[in-house]
Amino acid sequence: MRYSVFSILNQALRGNTGWKPVWREPEPRPAYDIIIVGGGGHGLATAYYLSNVYGITNVAVLEKGYLGSGNIGRNTTIIRSNYLLDGNEPFYEMSLKLWEGLEQDFNYNAMVSQRGVLNLYHSDGQRDAYARRGNAMILNGADAELIDQDRVRAMYPFLDFDNGRFPIQGGLLQRRGGSVRHDGVAWGYARGADSRGVDIIQHCEVQGFIMEGGTCVGVETSRGPIRANRVGVAAAGSSSRVMEQAGMRLPIESHVLQAFVSEGLKPIIPGVITYGAGHFYISQSDKGGLVFGGDIDGYNSYAQRGNLPILEHVCEGGMALMPAIGKARMVRSWGGIMDMSMDGSPIIDRTPIDGLYLNAGWCYGGFKATPASGYCFAHLLATGEPHDNAAAYRLDRFRSGAVIDEKGSGAQPNLH
């Protein structure tokens, strides 16, 4: 069923009794053209673009839990394309452009809200670095404005501009950035892929790869073996665990990243603000809760929950930026498992094993990349060649030396 004003009115007149589940629950077939391991945002987006752009519909998405049970349901929903390096910015700008047309494209309300992302700067050196980054963004077709303290003050008068240690001098504003309803993204992609015939198979854990003559020809699952010409893995924090079954070690450590939500408040923060003197960012959800977060905990973890020292650290950042936040009560926190790559940049590439492809290493920035990641991974799976905008995301770049050191930190906790 296509969603439209008429379908809503029609349903309203019939007491909303005609809505149907938006994807099937098929039994796995014995073989597919392409299997995607991982039914999160990136996996579902890959299936969507494979079926809708590249015309390959004999595809299965295998998910260990339920759809959206991983990081697509555990993030802080921010989208932006404010990167500096050539290997990154075209890719993230492609993603932002896909976000802009996403709801019309897949006919689903993902609540894409371009409310603006503001990165604050606190020193002359930081201003110059942001000016350079803004220029790089504009050169790649994105939008960026360097604004001074007066203009930041007009937008957010309650920030601590005259902080003794880190006074706010201004910020780099990307107006096209914003936030998205994260679950809606997973559901919209799932519905769009399913309607083209993609089988989305939940509660189906991949337990091994079927190898024939050194080529990957399918997967062993908790619901039996399934064969495929190509297998793409998009398992985020579990990438190492999945690829270990193919005998591969990855340049990835899994770390826990926490996020926090306050009680619902009246509208106070219209956009997204990031603190430039510490790792802290904040926005306000449509329900009114302040959504904020900061750094990874700094040790390997698969626990989906963190510890208190980082909570204190994040709240200190919040208090330094916006003292009024101290009046709000925090009601919820959660943790997601980040696939931290060694240079802090992702991997969308073939592996040394024929027929096996990898999409991983998104660190704590995977959500905003969802559409472009899916698009580029679909391109790789369909054509065997990397998409131009993801050509730098090689698996062997640590051997070749062509690393993408956007932030230069990677998994090393003491560099954060």
Partner 1 sequence: MLINHPLLGPRDAAEFTCFGDASLLLRPDPGPNGEPDQAAMDAFHDYLHLRDNPAGTHQELWYHEQGDRSWLVVTRDTINHSIIKVELARNVKARNLKTREGAG
Residue 342 or 391: the one with the smaller Cβ distance to partner 1 is: 342
> Which residues, 6 or more positions from 228, have their beta carbon under 8 angstroms from its beta carbon?
31, 32, 33, 34, 35, 60, 217, 218, 219, 355
At closest approach, how far in Å is the CB of 307 from partner 1?
Answer: 6
Q: How far is it, in rounded angstroms, from Cα 206 to Cα 219? A: 6
Identity of the residue numbered 68: G
At closest approach, how far in Å is the CB of 352 from partner 1?
Answer: 13
Residue 56 or 248: the one with the smaller Cβ distance to partner 1 is: 248
Q: Which of 57, 240, 283, 359 binds partner 1 (CB under 8 A)?
A: 240
The pair of three-digit structure tokens given for residue 315, joined into one six-digit string: 């709240």
> Which residues, 6 or more positions from 323, have their beta carbon under 8 angstroms from its beta carbon?
160
Q: Which of 254, 258, 283, 359 binds partner 1 (CB under 8 A)?
A: 254
Identity of the residue numbered 347: I
Q: Please identify, among the stretches 33-41, 171-179, 238-246, 316-324, the one whose residues bind partner 1 according to the rule CB under 8 A.
A: 238-246
Closest by CA position to 75, among listed 310, 348, 292:
292
Contact between 299 and partner 1 by CB under 8 A: the answer reads yes
Contact between 139 and partner 1 by CB under 8 A: the answer reads no
Closest by CA position to 174, among listed 134, 234, 232, 125:
134
Where are the extended beta strands (E) located within 17-114? Answer: 31-37, 59-62, 78-79
Q: Please identify, among the stretches 19-27, 49-57, 239-247, 314-322, the one whose residues bind partner 1 according to the rule CB under 8 A.
A: 239-247
Distance of CA 78 to the CA centre of its chain: 8
Contact between 298 and partner 1 by CB under 8 A: the answer reads yes
Q: Which of 84, 142, 233, 250 binds partner 1 (CB under 8 A)?
A: 250
At closest approach, how far in Å is the CB of 297 from partner 1?
Answer: 9
Contact between 414 and partner 1 by CB under 8 A: the answer reads yes
Q: Please identify, among the stretches 50-58, 78-86, 119-127, 296-304, the one whose residues bind partner 1 according to the rule CB under 8 A.
A: 296-304
Torsion of Cα atoms, 373 then 374 then 379 then 385, to 10°: 40
Contact between 104 and partner 1 by CB under 8 A: the answer reads no
Contact between 398 and partner 1 by CB under 8 A: the answer reads yes
Contact between 309 and partner 1 by CB under 8 A: the answer reads yes
Closest by CA position to 182, among listed 14, 295, 64, 41:
41
Scanning residues 341 to 380, which ones bind partner 1 (CB under 8 A)? 342
Q: Please identify, among the stretches 76-84, 94-102, 110-118, 242-250, the one whose residues bind partner 1 according to the rule CB under 8 A.
A: 242-250
Residue whose token pair is 């073989």: 31
Contact between 208 and partner 1 by CB under 8 A: the answer reads no
Q: How far is it, in rounded angstroms, from Cα 156 to Cα 324? A: 12
> Which residues, 6 or more positions from 152, have their beta carbon under 8 angstroms from its beta carbon?
118, 120, 159, 161, 168, 170, 171
Q: Please identify, among the stretches 108-116, 144-152, 194-202, 299-307, the one whose residues bind partner 1 according to the rule CB under 8 A.
A: 299-307
Burial (CB count <10 Å: 0-12, 13-18, 19+), residue 19: exposed
How many chain residues are in contact with partner 1, going by CB under 8 A? Answer: 25
Q: List residues binding partner 1 (CB under 8 A).
A: 238, 240-241, 244, 249-254, 298-303, 307, 309, 342, 398-399, 411-414
